[in-house]
Structure formats: C-alpha cells, structure tokens
Amino acid sequence: MVRPDEEYDAATVEARRVTVQADRVASESFPLAVSLEEADRRCRRALMEAWIGRETLTAKLPPSRLLLDPGDVVSLDNDGRLIDYRITRIGDAGARSIEAIRTDAAIYDLPPGQYRSVTLLDATIYGPADVVLMDLPQLSDAVPAHRPYAAVFAKPWYGTAAVWKSASTSGFVLLDTVPQPAHMGVLAADLPAGPTSRFDHGNELLVDLSSGTLTSVTDLELLAGATGANTLALDSAVGFWEVIQFGVATLVSAGRYRLTRLLRGQRGTEAAMGAPTLTGAKIALLDGALQPLSLALGDLGLPWNWRIGPASSAPSDAIMQARSFTPNGRGLMPFSPVQARMRKLANGDLTLRWIRRDRSLAADSWVLTYVPMSEASETYDLDIMNGGTVARTNIGLSTPTFIYTAAMQAADFGGPVNSLSIRLYQIGALGRGVPHLKILTIKESL
C-alpha cells in the first residue's frame, strides 16, 4: 500500500483473528494509492473472506436453475438459518453441478480502520560524496578491459548518483548512474611492501570502513575464480592501485578491521608495492557496488573533467564533486613477465630466460594447457641497467629468451659481468606493460 499524503512511501497493514489459534500467514502486495484506514479495512475484509471461505458447497441442480451464473449468491436453509454461498464454478455436462464457497455480506460493510495521523518526514540534507576514480586491471569478463571504475559513497545515500564528464569546464554529459554506494575506507596504519604469489603472513591491513561489514573466508573461496572473494583496491604510495585479497577479517572497533592472510599484488599489480603505503590511503572493496565507467577506447589518455553527485542535481550544483581524471586503460596493460633466469655459456655469453603472463581472466584457469594470448603478438622489451641508467635496450624480442653476448658485455661494462640488473616488459596495444625488475646472478654454465 502507499499513502499519497506521505510522499507515496510504501506502507504495510495487517489483520489477525484473536478468537482462535492459527499459525497460517498470508501476505499480498498491491500498487494502490489509498489511505491507511481504507487499507486496514480491505485487509480485515480479506482475512474474513479467507476465514469464511473455508466452507464450500457442492450441489446438483435441476434445469429450472439455468439462470444461475458464477458469482451469483444462493442461500441455503440450515435449521431455519439462511447461509449464503457464492457460486464459483458451474458444470453443465449431464446434470447441472455447482461449486460454491460460503460468503457473508456483512464483511463488505466493515468500518474503516482507526485514523492514523500523518507523519511528516524530516528534510533530508545531502552532503558531498566521497568519490574515487580508478584505473584497474580487468575484473570481469562482462566489463571491457579498458574501462576505469568509480567508487561513490555518501551518507545519507542519494538513491542514485550520477557521473558526468566533459572535455572542458562546461557542457557536461551524463555518462553513468550509480545505483548503490560503494564500500570504501582508509588505511588506519602504514602498510609495508610484502611478498607476491604467496600469502603475506608478516603484514596486516588495518582499515577504517565507511560502511558495510567484512567477514573471513576460506582459502577455497579466496582463490575461487580470477578475482576470488574479499578483494579490495588500495591507493598505493607510487600512484598505482594495488589489488589485495584478505582471508581473515577481525573487527577491532566500530568500523575498524584488521585484515590478515593477505594476497598482495593481485591481477598484476605487484609494481604498486614499491614503497610503504601510508596511513590515510584510500581503499575500495571490489564488489558489485563498484561502477565501471562507459568510456570508449578513444576516450583514453584525455584529461576529462568529472562531476559526481546526486542524480537529481545538475552537474553545476555546488553539491557535485569535481574531479580531474585521465583514464589510461590499465586493464589493457600486459602483466609483467616472471621467473627471469640467467646462465653463462662456455663461450662467455649469458642466456636470459623468462615466463610470460597474460592479463586475461582465463589465464587464471587451472585446466588450460596453454596460457591465453591477449596481445596481438608475443613481444618483449629488455633494458639492461648500469646503475640508474640504461646500458642497452633490446626492443621487439619475439621469444622469452635473450643472449647477452660477451661482446655486448664488453661494450656495456668493459668486460664479463657476474650479475645484471634488468627491466623486462611485455608489449601490448598501449606499449610497454608492467615492468619486471630483477637483479640476475650467474647460474651454472649450460
């Protein structure tokens, strides 16, 4: 039920019999604009109809009763008392048969319910939203890899938030609407870098959450699928978002959680751990409340201006949050290669080898024989470092190997080397991907 004098907010009325013991409950929902008093009367009438209608009648009638139709009410004399029945079904195959349920005209003259005074709603004052725009790796096959994400939180919530964009400071165009608030927070203690590809048992993530709750999950739930459960993004100190999973969530105080059994640098974000992330850094849970932005590939790399706030407000309204954000298509950036190794040949040459990774969500599969190839071709760039400068750049390597000859070593370092500092990139549609930084030492000769 709805009430027109209370902004058509939904309302509920109920009725029950107090003279008998009954456990059966029936509920109905109707899109009606009526007063609560009328709704109360209709609810009581429906209850009485159901109670009286428990008694049914089946009878055979002569042809003289052909005028009767379904919906007609007939009266049956029972010990001098007339009982009304409403015909629900008539069968004319052979003898005329009827089926009827008991009814009582008095239940349609029930008085309205008790008057309920109108409750005026308090005015809702909305504040500015907490907004984060993020370039993240691809999180779902349903969302194109190049699209960034928006996390929007406001208390009280707007009902629906709107995201507007423009190439200038005017002429904003509605891009997306956000139907629910994101679960966001801040880092409550510094977070040092940690290991990747295994559980980080040495660090804990202390966060202050603005809304929602966190729960612990099993390792099976944590590792299920490409992103798994309990996944958040952390705005790291190096300007990139680190994707982190946590297995254990412990409530410390109101809104504050200690997250342990961490998996760091998920979805190829290990480069975000270059320095400790400081207290106050933003976090956002990567769940269904996160809104992918409907940007085209041609929108990447442009310094867009954004306005985010209530969908009922214009983009020029003072409540709208203004942001400058340049999407870079992070989801299209290839992951860094891994497991780089170096061995020395008998002639003094050095052989470097590594393993390719792929940004596709399918690459996380445990059953595929070969890792998928999301890029147009398998191509690598390799920088050999001499301190902080690049001693040699090798562009367009088509296989995950490189032979660093003795002549190259002499040209770059003046003679044979025992270790190399390298930066290794896989090449994608946007150029170099996430670098693999490593200092290699010589293994046994091949």
Q: Which residues, in sequence order, are CB contacts of 376 under 8 Å at separation 6+?
A: 429
- pLDDT tens profile 241-253: 999 999 999 999 9
d(CA 326, CA 411): 41
d(CA 341, CA 354): 6
Q: Which architecture, in CATH terms, is 130-182+290-331?
A: Sandwich (2.60)
Residue 177 has phi, psi (to 5 degrees) of -115, 150
Residue found by looking up tokens 């009367």 in the block? 41
Top-confidence residue, 67 or 352: 352
Q: Can you give the pTM of this predicted structure?
A: 0.71
Whether the pLDDT of residue 25 is over 80: the answer is no
d(CA 290, CA 205): 21
Q: Which residues, in sequence order, are CB contacts of 120 under 8 Å at separation 6+?
A: none
Residue 240 has phi, psi (to 5 degrees) of -115, 160
Chain-centroid distance, C-alpha 293: 13
Chain-centroid distance, C-alpha 136: 14
d(CA 217, CA 230): 8
Whether the pLDDT of residue 444 is over 60: the answer is no
Whether the pLDDT of residue 338 is over 90: the answer is yes
d(CA 161, CA 126): 12
Domain ranges for the chain: 4-109, 130-182+290-331, 184-285, 338-441
- Give the CA count within 13 Å in the CB-facing half-sphere of 164: 21
- pLDDT tens profile 212-239: 899 999 999 998 866 778 999 999 878 7
Which three-class secondary structure string do you get for 168-233? CCCCCEEEEEECCCCCEEEECCCECCCCECCEECCCCEEEEECCCCCCCCCHHHHCCCCCCCCEEE
Give the pLDDT band of residue 7 (cuts 50, 70, 90). low
CATH topology classification for 338-441: Immunoglobulin-like (2.60.40)
User: Do the domains spanning 130-182+290-331 and 338-441 agree at the CATH topology level?
Assistant: yes
- pLDDT tens profile 106-146: 888 888 877 777 666 667 788 889 999 999 999 999 999 99
Span 89-104, mean pLDDT? 85
Q: Determine contact, residues 404/413, Cβ cutoff 8 Å.
A: no
Top-confidence residue, 421 or 37: 421
Chain-centroid distance, C-alpha 405: 51
Span 311-331, mean pLDDT? 93
d(CA 402, CA 23): 78
From residue 7, give the alpha-carbon distance in Å to each of 10, 35, 155. 9, 12, 21
Give the pLDDT band of residue 445 (cuts 50, 70, 90). very low
At 382, is the secondary structure helix, strand, or coil? Answer: strand
d(CA 59, CA 42): 31
Q: Determine contact, residues 317/296, Cβ cutoff 8 Å.
A: no
- pLDDT tens profile 377-427: 999 999 999 988 999 999 999 999 999 999 999 999 999 998 999 999 999
If phi > 0 it is left, if psi is from -120 to 50 it is alpha, else beta; for residue 387 that is: left
Span 135-162, mean pLDDT? 94
Residue 379 has phi, psi (to 5 degrees) of -140, 145
**Poorest-confidence range of 117-126, 200-209, 315-324, 425-434?**
117-126
Q: Determine contact, residues 215/208, Cβ cutoff 8 Å.
A: no
pLDDT value at residue 176: 95
Span 343-351, mean pLDDT? 93
Whether the pLDDT of residue 2 is over 60: the answer is no
**Poorest-confidence range of 74-78, 177-181, 287-291, 388-392?**
74-78
pLDDT value at residue 57: 86
pLDDT value at residue 226: 63
- pLDDT tens profile 42-72: 888 888 888 888 888 888 888 777 888 888 8
The distance in angstroms from the start CA to the end CA of the chain is: 81
- Give the helix ranges, DSSP H, for 239-366: none
Closest CA to 393 of 434, 335, 402, 353: 402
Concatenating the DSSP letter of every residue in 56-116 gives EEEEEE-GGGTT--TT-EEEEEETTEEEEEEEEEEE-SSSEEEEEEE--GGGGGPPPPPP-
**Tokens of residue 28, six digits:** 């109905």
Run of H or E residues at 45:
helix 36-52
Q: Which residues, in sequence order, are CB contacts of 254 under 8 Å at separation 6+?
A: none
pLDDT value at residue 446: 42
Q: Which residues pair with 240 in a beta bridge?
A: none
Top-confidence residue, 173 or 371: 173
